[in-house]
Amino acid sequence: MTVKPDWLRVKAPQWERVGNVKEILRDLALNTVCEEASCPNIGECFSAGTATFLIMGPACTRACPYCDIDFEKKPKPLDSTEPGRLAEAVRRMKLNHVVITSVNRDDLPDGGAMQFVRCIEEIRTVSPHTTIEVLIPDLCANWDALAIILQGAPEVLNHNTETVPRLYRRVRPQGNYDRTLELIRRSRQLAPQIYTKSGIMVGLGETDDEIRTCMQHLRDVDCDILTIGQYLQPSQKHLKVDNFIQPEQFAAWKAFGEEIGFLQVVSSPLTRSSYHAEQVRELMQRYPRVRSAD
């Protein structure tokens, strides 16, 4: 694999705190995308007492060549105890903000939509002041399933764009660029009080113009929050890094994103879709939205 530049070096975490989070996760038999996807920020996030929970996994029904989540095992039936165990982890970790994501479950009629809702409901029961972000798959364009998740009323609905249209077939062969944009558009249309979010990874051969065009496409469907980060090759069997983007370029994309109307742009080499996701609580204070009545 290509040698990483200095700006991608990760600060050593406080392993005592990391161990405490790991102990909670193991005790409650929970998966995190931090571990399953080999996230470079796992030390920082775990030492800060935060995690992105991975539900309905760890096996995925898709085989994206950039992702380190297992796709070779057969997905298991949904576990009815998972939402309660996740909520207990939120309580023990005293989280102010929680991110819930999932593997793709194309084998399920609703893509796992109701499992997301059950997790939201359980968290609200034990920790009503915790804000909730869901990072969802494309649900195979099942818009009824999307409506179910939105009815659960998370504060943030996140779905990653991942890459530019030209690279979709190679990077995300079972995905669809237009379907991703449509999911964001429908989310804002169905639940305008919920903040929408998406993420792009760079370093796979895309151009600056392609990234800016992708950013504009997301704004055109009224996406609120954007994350941009450097792709890192998890192993030799995954897609290779084409190039490492300079930090100055990430700063330029951030400035451009703010110029075209994103409420928040997190753009840096180590940014991931849920990196510093808790900052949305500050955004909600600056740009409050009227929430629909229960």
Summarised one tens digit per residue, pLDDT across range 119-174 is 999 999 999 999 999 999 999 999 999 999 999 999 999 999 999 999 999 999 98
pLDDT of amino acid 37:
46
Question: What single string gives the DSSP state of each residue in 17-77?
Answer: HHHHHHHHHHHTT-EEHHHHTT-TTHHHHHHTT--EEEES-S--S---TT--S--SSPPPP
Q: Which CATH architecture has domain 13-286?
A: Alpha-Beta Barrel (3.20)
> 129 in helix, strand or coil?
coil
- Residue ranges covered by each domain of the chain: 13-286
Residue ranges in the chain modelled with pLDDT below 50: 1, 12-15, 36-37, 292-294
